[in-house]
Amino acid sequence: MSGSPAVVMRLVASAYTVAEKAGAIVRKVLHSGELGIVEKTGANDLQTLADRLAQQSICASLYRRFPKITIIGEEDLPAEEIKEDLIENGHSEEILQKTCPAEYSGLKEEELVVWVDPLDGTKEYTEASRLLHHPTGALTPHKGSDTSQLHSTALWLLDNVTVLIGIAYEGKAIAGVINQPFYNYQLGSGAELGRTMWGMPGLGAFGFTLKEAPGDRRIITTTRSHSNKVVTECVDAMEPHEVIKVGGAGNKIIQLVEGRASAYVFASLGCKKWDTCAPEAILTAVGGKLTDMHGNAYRYDANVKHMNSAGVLATLRNHEYYVSRVPQSVRQALKTD
Ligand SMILES: Nc1ncnc2c1ncn2[C@@H]1O[C@H](COP(=O)(O)O)[C@@H](O)[C@H]1OP(=O)(O)O
Ligand SMILES: [Mg+2]
Ligand SMILES: [Mg+2]
Ligand SMILES: [Mg+2]
C-alpha cells in the first residue's frame, strides 16, 4: 500500500479504540453502582450514566479527528463541553495496515454517516447491576449459595451488553465495530474483560472466530425484554429446534457469527438504526444478511427514520428460508418503510 491510509480506514481504526474506551466506561459505571437510570419512553426503554458518558466519549473523540462526518447517537444529550478524560485519541495500528476495498478508498469524511449505540442491552445492564449490588452482597458470592446464583445471572446478563459503532456510505452499512465490555467474565476476577470485533464487507471480519451453527438445527435467537404476541408467533412459525432469549442486537449478531444461533428474529418495532448498522456490517462481511421481516434491506442515510419499523431478521446462511416462514399476519402488522 502506498500513500496515506484511506479516510474510512482511519475512521474504523479510531472507532476501534474509541469503542474500547466506551467499554471501559461501561465497566466503570457498573462498578460504581451509581447508574443514574432515566426512563425514556417507559420501563423497558432506559438510559443510564454509562449510556450518556459512553456516547459523549465516542462522539467527541470521533468529531475531534473527523470534524466533517455525521454522527447519529441513540441518546438525546444536551450540547455541553466534554471532559478531556472522556476523549480517546488512539487508533488501531493493525486496522491502518489493512488495504481498503477499492470501492471505498476515495470516500470523503463528509460522505460518511456514523451510527452510535453507546450501550446496547441497557435493560440487561440495569438488571445485572441490581443483582450485583443487591444487599445480600452478590458481588462477593459464596460458592453454592443463593448469592452465587444471583452473581452468575448478573454476569450472564452483562455479557449481553455491547458498544456499537456503525459506518454507512450511500445508505449502506460499510463498516462496523462492536465492543463487548464484559467478555471473558467466566474466567473470574482478575481476568481481563472485554473484546472488540470489527468488519467491513469486501475486507473481512476480525476479533472473533467465525463458526456456523449446526446446519440441521434451527436455533432462533430473539428478544428477552421486548417481547409480545406477534414476536412469539413469528418465532414459532420458524419451527425452531431451540429458542434463545437474550438481550441486545449486537449480542445476537455475535451469536450468529459464533455459531450459537442460526437466525435472529425480532418481529416488532423497537430496534433502531444504531442497533443494526454495526452488526449488519460485520454480519455482511462474513456473508450473512440483515433485513426487515419481508427480506428488504434497511438504509442508513443520515436522513432516514431511526426506527426499524418492520422488524429485524438476520442470518449467516439460509436467509430466504426464514423470510419465507414469516406468517402473513406478521407481514401485515409490520410494513416495510
Ligand atoms: N421497545 C424497545 N424500546 C427501546 N429499545 C428497544 C426496544 N426494542 C429493542 N430495543 C433496542 O434494541 C436492542 C435489542 O432488543 P432486544 O434486547 O429486546 O432484543 C435493545 O437492547 C434496545 O437497545 P438499547 O439497549 O441500546 O436501548
Ligand atoms: Mg436504549
Ligand atoms: Mg441498542
Ligand atoms: Mg443503547
Tens of pLDDT, residue by residue over 291-312, are 999 999 999 999 999 999 999 9
Question: In terms of C-beta density within 10 A (0-12 exposed, 13-18 middle, 19 or more buried), how is residue 119 classed?
Answer: buried
ipTM of the complex: 0.99
> For residue range 244-258, what is the model confidence (pLDDT) as tens digits?
999 999 999 999 999
- Give the ligand whose atoms come closest to the C-alpha of residue 55: 4
* Average pLDDT of span 49-59: 98
Give the model's confidence band at 1: pLDDT under 50 very low, under 70 low, under 90 confident, else very high. very low
Q: Which region among 33-37, 138-142, 267-271, 307-311 has the lowest average model confidence (pLDDT)?
A: 138-142
- Nearest Cα neighbor of 164 from 150, 180, 185, 178 is 178
Does 74 show up as a binding residue in the annotation?
yes
**C-alpha cell recorded at residue 35:** 447508574
Pocket residues for ligand 1 (CB within 6 Å)?
44-45, 74, 117, 119-122, 223-226, 247-249, 266, 270-271, 275
Identify the residue whose C-alpha is closest to ligand 1 atom 16.
Answer: 223
> For residue range 182-196, what is the model confidence (pLDDT) as tens digits?
999 888 888 899 999
Identify the residue whose C-alpha is closest to ligand 1 atom 8.
Answer: 270
The CA distance from 93 to 286, in Å, is 22
The pLDDT value recorded for residue 190 is: 84
Which one is catalytic: 48, 122, 162, 291? 122
51 catalytic per annotation? yes
pLDDT at 337 over 90: no
The CA distance from 200 to 115, in Å, is 15
Q: Which one of 271, 272, 274, 312 would you pick to mutate in the ligand 1 pocket, going by the greatest count of ligand atoms within 8 A of its CB?
A: 271
The pLDDT value recorded for residue 140 is: 53
Does 236 show up as a binding residue in the annotation?
no
Q: Kindly give the distance from the C-alpha atom of residue 118 to the centroid of ligand 4, in angstroms, as a whole number.
A: 6
Identify the residue whose C-alpha is closest to ligand 1 atom 23.
Answer: 120
Domains of the chain (ranges, CATH numbers): 7-206 (3.30.540.10), 219-333 (3.40.190.80)
pLDDT at 31 over 80: yes
Q: Kindly give the distance from the C-alpha atom of residue 302 to the centroid of ligand 1, in angstroms, as a whole number.
A: 21
- Give the ligand whose atoms come closest to the C-alpha of residue 271: 1
Does 301 show up as a binding residue in the annotation?
no
Which ligand 1 atom is nearest residue 247's CA? Answer: 17
The CA distance from 123 to 27, in Å, is 15
Instruction: Give me the residues paired with residue 206 across strands.
Output: 198
**C-alpha cell recorded at residue 68:** 466533517
233's enclosing H/E stretch is helix 229-237
Identify the residue whose C-alpha is closest to ligand 1 atom 15.
Answer: 248
**C-alpha cell recorded at residue 23:** 467499554
The pLDDT value recorded for residue 149 is: 84
Identify the residue whose C-alpha is closest to ligand 1 atom 12.
Answer: 271
Residues of the chain by 3-state class (helix, strand, coil), percent to 5: 40, 20, 40
Q: Kindly give the distance from the C-alpha atom of residue 101 to the centroid of ligand 4, in angstroms, as a whole number.
A: 30
Q: Kindly give the distance from the C-alpha atom of residue 270 to the centroid of ligand 3, in angstroms, as a whole number.
A: 9
Does 117 show up as a binding residue in the annotation?
yes
